[in-house]
Structure 1
Amino acid sequence: MQTMEMIVNVGLFIGGLALLVRGSDYLIQSATTLAKSFGVSDLLIGLTIVAIGTSLPEVMASLAASAAGGADLAFANILGSSITNITLVAGIGALAAPLSTNHIVLDRDTKIMILIGGMLTLMVFNPFAFGMIVIPEAAILLLLLVAYLSFLYWGRTECDRCYQFTIFVDFFLKFKFLTSIRSAIRDPPGVSSSTSEETEPLDKIILPRDVIIMAISAVAVAIGAQWVISGTEYISMASGIKQDVIGFTVISLATSLPEISVSINSARHGFGRLLVGNLVGSNIINIALGLGLVPIIFPGILSVIDAGILLVSFLVLSFIFYYVIRKDWRVTRAEGIGLVTLYLLVQAIFISLAQGVFG
């Protein structure tokens, strides 16, 4: 009986991961088609639907975990996914072909990622709310996300030096992103100039189909997230493995499988610079969106020791990643092997410490 129950719950876990990842893909595709049919530019679609949609599996799994009282699982899933991106995914991409990058990724995105990691550490170890991310702190993370996406949009047209980290800090602290958002709403780029005769068939044929696909995909993502967490809870209880260990290892790896596939293809086709930027940008969105929404909707208390291990690991690996890029503006195959090795090492250390292997 117990064997059958384990098989069912492992099946739920695997099926939930499949629904979560594939449902997110279809949701992004249908939402993108829908936005294009309304004349939204590729730039805005990329900065909103695609950017946020790629973080949907991690965010939904974390929301489902927090709803079930698993704050540690939610935290471990998001930081685990972020660590996976800058070690395993980047490393595998570099093994396929060396990844070139430039000062923009270094001076803007990588520094912003480190900034968010540092702010998150201060929030978790805030003596007035130890082990918690309180609502005002979560709101700051969400504002950082809005500022970051606005900065990417604004910098393409308004600022020649917007790859600089100091410009972003000024942009955020002086709330310039609010002006950028107002401008985008008032004068949206790329509005379709199609005539009503040209858009009528599009409205009748494409829109209903994509709305239906988007709705079904959203339901699939929600169900998948719930199945993943239900399976995790049972596996954790039956095996004695802590939930945050499962989140840091299995769930974060599974939700990163699409990125691994993309990284190999991108590297082979010479898009290494784009890949590195996407991985760092994905981390910024994962942390700011996931750990911004979760504490507001489902507040919870973290295991400070486990959270501390994760935060230190993320910050150390972020600085190493920064150094690797800064050294010669590329990630070589040898450095790719090093990044993959670091991923395996951090996994082993976290599992050992979280499970109390060393007493």
Structure 2
Amino acid sequence: MLDFLLLIVGFAFLVKGADFFVDGASSIADHLKVPAIVIGLTIVAFGTSAPEAAVSITAGISGSNAIAVGNVVGSNIFNLLIVLGASAALKTVKVQKRIIDFDLPVMIVGGLLLCLFCYTGNVVSRIEGAILFVLILAYVGYTVITSLKSRHSIEVNEPKFNVPMSVAVSIIGLALIIFGGQWVVDSATSIARSFGLSETLIGLTIISVGTSLPELVTSVVAARKGQSDIALGNVIGSNIFNILFIIGLSSMVNPIEIAPVIFTDLIFMMVIFIQTLVISMKQKCFNKKAGITMLVLFAIYLTYIIIRN
């Protein structure tokens, strides 16, 4: 009964936390006079990737960070097919020119580098990790500088909160998301074990989905509020952060050994990355049809990895 109670409370925290986080983040964007997409690509994306970062970096410190690549690859696939798919199924998500010209190519280059590092020697070394880490610093630096240069030419809305309240609401929202997500994962895992489900199946489903719950609820709530820039920026920014920051820092702490089974998933991730760019270039948006197609594709992929394992 306690597990079921924690599951309900956890989901409530996730939903309300996402509501606070989106409101606070959009208010910060209005105060800074920068596009909401920039906040989505940085503050929101990095914040919602905190669970993946915690899992991977902690594993790296303990010397068992082989989980890091699988965690990142699974999270990136989930972000695009489920998070973006669910958001688009609810409301059309428009794609800005900046995303097509810069952020999606950065995500693809990061993915290609990860594939290269994994395929050459079956390990991500400290030097390769440092390369990824330098790239995330350059990406964030470029994003901040370009947004500040264009801030005076951007029309923004009246901020919903004052500056201290905007920051406070964002922090409270993020805290609720992280705690709620952890409670959902822990309680769902306990319930699944009580029904006799295997550890492998639990890891592939509940844990991998659980660490991506912040991205899911934040983007879905943002899409429903009409903040499609935050919804899309969260997804793309999280994927860039996952590859460049999490893998980079984890492998700098301790080189990551790559399990051969992950190669198929890496290829699938890159196919999804390129598909996302193609749809963005052709349609300039993700509509309901594209969203449902992405959800179905994830169901097929999930079925495959369950059968494989």
Structure 1 and Structure 2 fold alike (TM over 0.5): yes
CA spacing shift, 1:71–1:229, aligned 2, 3 Å: farther
Structural mapping, 1:52-71, within 5 Å? 52-67=46-61, 70-71=64-65
- 2:219–2:235 contact (8 Å) kept in structure 1: no
Question: Shift of residue 25 of structure 1?
Answer: 9.6
1:174 paired residue number? none
Contact 1:77–1:244 (CA<8 Å) still a contact in 2? no
Q: Which of 73-82 and 326-335 deviates more?
A: 73-82
Alignment deviations for residues 133-161 of structure 1 (CA, whole Å, 9 cap, x no partner): 111111111111111111112223569xx
Alignment of 1:333 with 2:288, yes or no, is yes
Partner of 1:275: 231
Structure 2 portions without partners, runs of 5+: 153-161
Q: Aligned residue for 1:179?
A: none
- 2:299 aligned residue: 344
The reply to whether residue 296 of structure 1 matches residue 252 of structure 2 is yes
Q: 1:124 to 1:244 in 2, by over 3 A?
A: farther
Deviation at residue 99 of structure 1 after TM alignment: 2.0
Listed one character per residue, the Cα deviations across residues 74-93 of structure 1 (whole Å, up to 9, x for unaligned) are 32222222212211122222
In structure 1, give the amino acid aligned to 2:233: G
Matches within 5 A, 1:299-338: 299-305=255-261, 307-338=262-293
CA RMSD of aligned residues (A): 4.5
Amino acid paired to 1:250? V
Helix, strand or coil: the match of 2:258? coil
Distance 1:277 1:325 in 2: 13
2:158 aligned residue:
none
Distance 1:82 1:349, change over 3 A: same
Structure 1, residues 228-265: CA drift from partner, whole Å, max 9, x if none? 689969978x7444375247743344343323432441
Segments of 4+ in structure 1 off by > 6 A?
A: 7-33, 224-227, 229-236
- 1:21 touches 1:255 (CA, 8 Å); kept in 2? no
Q: CA 1:339–1:289 in 2, change beyond 3 Å: closer, same or farther?
A: same
> Structure 1 pair 329/29, CA: closer, same or farther in 2 (3 Å)?
closer
Give SS of 1:326's match. helix
Find 2:131's aligned residue among 135, 140, 149.
Answer: 140
Amino acid at match of 1:135: R
What is the alpha-carbon distance in structure 1 between the residues aligned to residue 240 and residue 82 of structure 2? Answer: 17
Query: C-alpha separation between the residues in 2 aligned to 1:87 and 1:228?
Result: 20
The offset of 1:100, in angstroms, is 2.1
Q: Give me the whole-angstrom Cα distance separating, in 2, the residues matched to 1:247 and 1:72.
A: 19
Q: CA deviation at 1:68?
A: 5.5
How far apart are the structure 2 equivalents of 1:30 and 1:264?
A: 15
Indicate the SS of the match to 1:304: coil
- 2:98 aligned partner, one-letter code: I
Q: Is the contact between residue 10 and residue 235 of structure 1 (CA under 8 Å) also seen in structure 2?
A: no
Superposed, 1:25-174 pairs within 5 Å as: 41=32, 46=39, 49-67=43-61, 70-127=64-121, 130=122, 132-156=123-147
The answer to whether the 8 A contact 2:86-2:220 is kept is: no
Q: What is the CA–CA distance in structure 1 between the aligned matches of 2:307 and 2:59, rounded to whole Å?
A: 23
SS in 1 for 2:124: coil
CA–CA distance in 1 between the matches of 2:307 and 2:299?
12
Deviation at residue 302 of structure 1 after TM alignment: 2.9
- Distance, in Å, in 1 between the alignment partners of 2:48 and 2:76 is 12
Counting matched residue pairs gives 290
What letter is aligned with 1:329? Answer: K
Q: 1:209-288 counterparts in 2 under 5 A? A: 239-242=197-200, 245-246=204-205, 249-266=208-225, 269=226, 271-288=227-244
The alpha-carbon deviation at position 308 of structure 1 amounts to 0.9
Quick check: 1:84–1:253 contact (8 Å CA) kept in 2? yes
**What are the Cα deviations for residues 83-125 of structure 1, in whole angstroms up to 9, with x where unaligned?**
1221112222222222222332112111111110000001111
Aligned partners of 2:115, 2:145: CA distance in 1, in Å? Answer: 29
Compared with structure 1, are the counterparts of its residues 246 and 71 closer, same or farther at alpha carbon in structure 2 (3 Å cutoff)?
farther
- In 2 relative to 1, CA 66–103 (structure 1 residues): closer, same or farther, beyond 3 Å? same
Q: Give me the whole-angstrom Cα distance separating, in 2, the residues matched to 1:91 and 1:104.
A: 20
State, as a whole percentage, how many aligned pairs show the same letter: 25
Counterpart Cα distance in 2 of 1:19 and 1:281: 23
